Chain A
Amino acid sequence: MNNKHNGWRVPAILAAVLAVAPLTMPVNIANEIVVMAIFAMAANLIIGVAGLYSFGHATFFGVGAYMGGYVLAQFQTSTLTTLLIATVVGALSATIIGAIVIRRAGFYFMMLTFAFNQMAFYVVLTWSSVTGGEDGMGGITRTPLGIPGLGSLNLDDRQVFYALCALVFLASYYILNRVKRSALGLVLESAKENPRRTASIGYSVYRAQITAFAISGAFAGLAGALYALLYRFVPVDTISLAMSGNVLFMIVIGGLSSMVGPLIGAAVFVWLQGLFSLMWARWALLFGLFIVLVVFTMPNGLVGAFEKLRAFWAQRKGGRP
């Protein structure tokens, strides 16, 4: 049932969708969707695949955003260097925090991730000399992207920057999907249901989960830096609990069980937020009700609903589901 996510078909479809997207909506919105999708996929590795319900994933996203923004604002580092720094910092922070939070399970794990998120938030808020505090971090400019052998690209062009983000997304999808389908992914899924049994087969569940945190943090940090580049600004709620809640929404709306779900969830979230907030300032009310609807009617998200529909049609046509 997971086979269709193998190989080149899905990435090709995704690439096509991403290429067409800026024609159907403002390119900035498409860009935000793509960046949030990277964040959501990263979080899905922990929340969906490993079944660890993290309520503080914005910590790593925010760390990447602030770090990336900082080096850009202070040192005008090249784009590649900035993204690399953000990825490494994201991975490191996730490894350290992950090593601590997975010592507890269930509700206590949730509370630990929540506590770390709050601590990160308040540190950012009070360290305003560096982070800008409540006002956010500004002064971020996009440096040209140097491609060895091809010269440098001016990223101030919206379309060019979108293309970069889309490419990073496709690469991230490919990598994260491979991780999901690797031995690590299977160990995580097994431990999600029965950690004791997984250990008795001979796996160190702790090591598997920390590795997952490191990978998740890396991509979340990367997404954060792209976010900072997109808006040339890092608002304080980048590292807030609300952001952690948002990514949770995206994952559940899209569907936990595949890496395509987060993109769909991000698209729905950002699209609703971007387009409808112009129509009604209280769009969030509808969004809250939408979440409730999804929870009741589509527990496996839009991807899950789609797969059910496919199975239903296959059955009707007389084939095996």
Chain B
Amino acid sequence: MSSLVVAQLINGCAIGMLYAVMAFGLSIIKGLLNVPNFAHGALFATGAYVCYAIANMGLPFGIALIGAFAVPALIGAMLQRFGLEKLAKADYLLQVLFLFGIALALEQSLVVIWGTSGVSLTAPSLLSGSFDLGFMRLPRYLVFVTVASATCIAVLWFLIERTKLGSQVRAGIEKSEMARCLGINIKGLLILGFALGAGMAGLAGGIALPLLGASSSSGNDMMSIAFVVLVLGGLGSLYGSVVAGLLLGIVQSLSTLVAPTMSTLLLYVVMTLVLLVRPQGLFGER
């Protein structure tokens, strides 16, 4: 029995890290641009499909993952430059609807190119199979998901905390008026920020592909949960998303043992409670 719990714990960790990566990207975009990215799910799906396409061409999985990051990042940069930038002074609702519309168009484009039945990818042989731990078998790919997600976040941490560009991103998130006064190129920063956030979503899609498969709408559930993570972690706290993502992933996985049909419902109950009792989440400030 306890091996079942351990298995779910590990499952939860892996999926939680994926949630964390999604939410991290969402947090960057919300922090810098103050807009909830409702195209995040579509970007996740795009990343998955790009990963599939590159892997199918015979290229190594690593290249496919880079593509999974790069293509959505590019799309994100364009969305900011040609879309949100022009809508910066418009009503909030219009910015949100712009992202909604793009999400729709993006998802449908995926179907146009790759058809309706979704895609899947078997993990590269290096990452397939499992480790024999004695009391259970630990799928190698789950470990990879956890490690790859953690690495991604660590790389971004390094960029944000230790580089000049990163400090500008932080300034942009925490004090945008001041950043403008200091001559920081806010326009460029916003484009970079959206690109980074979008790239994270795409990369999550690529990493998740061998594990969960992908369809044009597979990003939607991920995106919804990413919002829960964002709220739980707290707006304005990038790393809150990481902790919250892990927490929620584990909670969701463990609850499937107890009440499988309610496990997703539980997430939204948690979200509601957080919003009502402590809207700034675990680590947020505003």
Contact = CB atoms under 8 A, between A and B. Distances in A.
Direct contact of A and B (CB under 8 A): yes
Interface of A: 47, 53, 100, 103-104, 107-108, 110-112, 114-116, 118-119, 122-123, 125-126, 241, 245, 248-249, 252, 282, 284-285, 287-292, 295-296, 299
B114 to A, nearest CB: 12
A116 B269 CA distance: 8
A125 B275 CA distance: 24
A252 B104 contact: no
A125 to B, nearest CB: 8
9 contacts: A107-B235, A114-B227, A115-B228, A119-B272, A122-B265, A245-B100, A285-B105, A285-B108, A299-B90
Interface string B262-282: 101100110110011001000
Interface in B142-197: none
Given A126-B261, A295-B87, 10 more contacts: A53-B92, A107-B30, A115-B228, A248-B93, A282-B108, A282-B111, A285-B104, A288-B104, A289-B105, A299-B90
A292 B224 CA distance: 22
Contact of A291 (B36, B97, B261, B268): B97
Contacts of A112: 272, 275-276
Contacts of A100: 272, 276
B101 interface: yes
Contacts, number: 107
A290 B275 contact: no
Contacts of B104: 284-285, 287-288, 291
Contact of A103 (B105, B109, B276): B276
B137 to A, nearest CB: 31
Max chain B Cβ within 10 angstroms of own Cβ: one of A53, A104, A116, A288: A288
Interface string B93-121: 11011101111111111011000000000
B231 interface: yes
A103 B86 CA distance: 32
B272 A115 contact: yes
Main SS class of interface, A:
helix
Contacts of B132: none
Interface residues of B, number: 42
A296 B86 CA distance: 8
B227 A295 contact: no
A112 B264 CA distance: 16
A115 B269 CA distance: 8
Contacts of B285: none
B265 A119 contact: yes
Given A115-B275, A116-B272, A123-B265, A249 B86 contact: no
A245 B96 CA distance: 11
A100 B36 CA distance: 21
Contacts of A289: 101, 105
B93 A53 contact: yes
Contacts of B268: 115-116, 118-119, 122
Contacts of B224: 114, 118, 241
Nearest to A287: B104
Contacts of A114: 224, 227
Contacts of B90: 295, 299
A161 to B, nearest CB: 31
Given A122-B265, A126-B265, A295 B105 contact: no
A193 to B, nearest CB: 12
B86 A288 contact: no
Interface string B204-234: 0000000000000000100010011001000
A276 to B, nearest CB: 13
Contacts of A125: 261
Given A122-B264, A249-B100, A108 B275 contact: yes
Contact of A107 (B36, B93, B262): B36
Contact of B101 (A103, A107, A295): A295
B285 to A, nearest CB: 14
Contacts of A287: 101, 104
Given A53-B93, A115-B272, A299-B94, A110 B109 contact: no
Nearest to B224: A118
Contacts of B102: 288, 292
A104 B275 contact: yes
A125 B227 CA distance: 21
B8 to A, nearest CB: 20
